[in-house]
Amino acid sequence: MSSAFSDGDDWLSHKTLTCVGLTLEDIKKCSKIQQIGKRVCYNNEALGEKEKDLENLLHQFEDYSALFQNGSSKLFGHIRGCNVVIIMESSDEAFCLSNDNKCFSSIYKEGMLQLLHDQLVRKSNVHFISTGGMKCCLSELLDFKEDKYLSTARSEDFIEALSPHGHSNLLPGLKQAFKLKQIDTICVVMVTRPKEDLGITKDYLLQAMVGHSKPKFHFVSFGSDEAPRSFMKEIVKELGGYYHHNSMDTEGSFQDTCFDQISAEMHKIRSTLQEVCLLKAKYSSSTVHVNSAATQDLTEMSVSEKFQFLDEPLTLCLPDTKKLSFENVSASEWVAKFGVVAKGLLFYKLLSTDSYCIEGRYIPITKGNIQSHWYDGMMEIEWEGGTRRRIHVDLPKIEDYMERIEGCVDAVHTRMKELVCNTKSIFGVVTEPCVILVVDLSADVSKYLLELQRYFKALLEEQFTATGPVNFFNIVIFGSSCQMWSTHLVPCNEKTLQEAWKWIIHWLCQGTRNLAAAVRCLTEMLEESSTNTGVYIICSGLPDQDEAIISDFLCHSLTGPKVSLHTIFLEVETSFYDISDVNDFVSCRFGSSTDIAKYFNTVASSCGGSFHHWGPTGVIRSSEMKILEEELALCLEQKALAEEVVEKFAQHCREQSEGRKHLSTEEKYPTSSPMNKSLPAEPRHTRTSIDRINLVKYGVLPSKEISSVPVRQDCAVSGEQAWKLKATATLPDINTESHTSSEEWLSVYSLSALRIDYKKIQTSKRSKKVLHQNNKGGSVLLSVDRNELYLFKAKLSLLVEAYKKRLNFLKNGSLKYFGCVTGNKVVLLVDTSYSMIHCSDVIKTAICQLVTEQFVSRGISYNIISFGYKLTMFKENCSISRDVESLRRWLDGLVWKGNTRLTECIEKALLQSPEKVCLLTDGVQDHSDEYFFKWIQDRKIMVPIDTVGFHCTNKEKVFLKTLASHTNGRFHYYCGNENFSGDDMELVNSELEIAAKWLSEVKFIF
Reported for 150-153, long-range contacts at CB under 8 A and 24+ positions apart, including other chains, are: 151/121, 151/126, 152/116, 152/117, 152/121
**Residue 500 in this model has a pLDDT that exceeds 70:** yes
Cα dihedral 904→906→908→910 (10° resolution): -150
Residues 6+ apart with CB under 8 A from 124: 82, 83, 143, 144, 145
Q: Which of 36-40, 233-237, 756-760 has the highest mean pLDDT?
A: 233-237
- pLDDT confidence tier of residue 324, bands split at 50, 70 and 90: very low
Q: Categorise residue 462: left if φ over 0, alpha if ψ from -120 to 50, beta otherwise.
A: alpha
The DSSP-derived string for 576-623 is SGGGG-TTTTSPPPP--HHHHHHHHHHHHHHTT--EEEEETTEEEEEH
Residue 579 has what pLDDT? Answer: 37
**Residue 827 in this model has a pLDDT that exceeds 90:** yes
Residue 33 has what pLDDT? Answer: 54
The rounded percent of the chain whose pLDDT value lies above 70 is 76
**Residue 52 in this model has a pLDDT that exceeds 70:** yes
Residue 385 has what pLDDT? Answer: 67
Residue 481 has what pLDDT? Answer: 86
**What does the mean pLDDT of the chain come to?**
76
Q: What is the pLDDT of residues 171-196, one digit of tens each?
A: 888 888 888 888 888 899 888 888 88
User: Which of 36 and 743 is assigned the larger pLDDT?
Assistant: 743
* Cβ(123)–Cβ(84) below 8 Å: yes
Residue 760 has what pLDDT? Answer: 66
Residue 329 has what pLDDT? Answer: 82
**Residue 283 in this model has a pLDDT that exceeds 60:** no
Residues 6+ apart with CB under 8 A from 566: 428, 534, 535, 536, 537, 604, 609, 610, 611, 612
489 DSSP 8-state letter? -
User: Which of 733 and 304 is assigned the larger pLDDT?
Assistant: 733
**Residue 918 in this model has a pLDDT that exceeds 90:** yes
Residue 533 has what pLDDT? Answer: 86
Q: What is the pLDDT of residues 505-553, one digit of tens each?
A: 888 888 888 888 888 888 777 776 667 888 899 998 888 888 888 888 7
User: Which of 211 and 575 is assigned the larger pLDDT?
Assistant: 211
The rounded percent of the chain whose pLDDT value lies above 90 is 3
The single-letter code of the amino acid at 790 is: Y
**Residue 682 in this model has a pLDDT that exceeds 60:** no
**Residue 109 in this model has a pLDDT that exceeds 60:** yes
* Cβ(438)–Cβ(535) below 8 Å: yes
- pLDDT confidence tier of residue 98, bands split at 50, 70 and 90: low
- pLDDT confidence tier of residue 948, bands split at 50, 70 and 90: very high
User: Which of 621 and 725 is assigned the larger pLDDT?
Assistant: 621
Residue 704 has what pLDDT? Answer: 39
**Residue 58 in this model has a pLDDT that exceeds 60:** yes
Nearest to 340 by CA among 696, 545, 642: 642
Q: What is the pLDDT of residues 147-164, one digit of tens each?
A: 777 788 888 888 888 888
Q: What is the pLDDT of residues 13-24, one digit of tens each?
A: 778 888 888 888
Q: Which of 354-368, 753-767, 786-800, 884-898 has the highest mean pLDDT?
A: 884-898
Least reliable range by pLDDT among 95-109, 725-739, 775-789, 846-860: 775-789
- pLDDT confidence tier of residue 589, bands split at 50, 70 and 90: low
- pLDDT confidence tier of residue 318, bands split at 50, 70 and 90: very low
Residue 475 has what pLDDT? Answer: 92
Q: Categorise residue 168: left if φ over 0, alpha if ψ from -120 to 50, beta otherwise.
A: beta
- Torsion angles phi and psi, residue 7, rounded to 5: -80, -5
Question: How far is Cα 69 from Cα 380, in angstroms, rounded to an integer?
Answer: 74
Residue 561 has what pLDDT? Answer: 58
Residue 588 has what pLDDT? Answer: 59
Q: How many CB atoms lie within 10 A of CB 979?
A: 9
* Cβ(266)–Cβ(65) below 8 Å: yes
Q: 243 to each of 106, 230, 236, 817, how far by Cα in Å?
A: 23, 11, 7, 50
Q: What is the pLDDT of residues 690-723, one digit of tens each?
A: 555 554 444 444 443 333 334 343 333 445 666 7
**Residue 620 in this model has a pLDDT that exceeds 50:** yes
Sign of CA dihedral 850, 854, 857, 862: negative
The size of the chain, in residues, is 1006
Question: How far is Cα 240 from Cα 218, in angstroms, rounded to an integer?
Answer: 9
User: Which of 231 and 278 is assigned the larger pLDDT?
Assistant: 231
**Residue 625 in this model has a pLDDT that exceeds 80:** yes
Residue 917 has what pLDDT? Answer: 92
The DSSP-derived string for 204-269 is HHHHHTTTS--PEEEEEEESS-HHHHHHHHHHHHHH--EEEEE--STT--EEEHHHHHHHHHHHHH
User: Which of 755 and 557 is assigned the larger pLDDT?
Assistant: 755
**Residue 289 in this model has a pLDDT that exceeds 50:** no
Residue 781 has what pLDDT? Answer: 41
Question: H or E element: which one contains 26?
Answer: helix 24-30
Least reliable range by pLDDT among 86-95, 236-245, 981-990, 996-1005: 996-1005
Question: H or E element: which one contains 819?
Answer: none
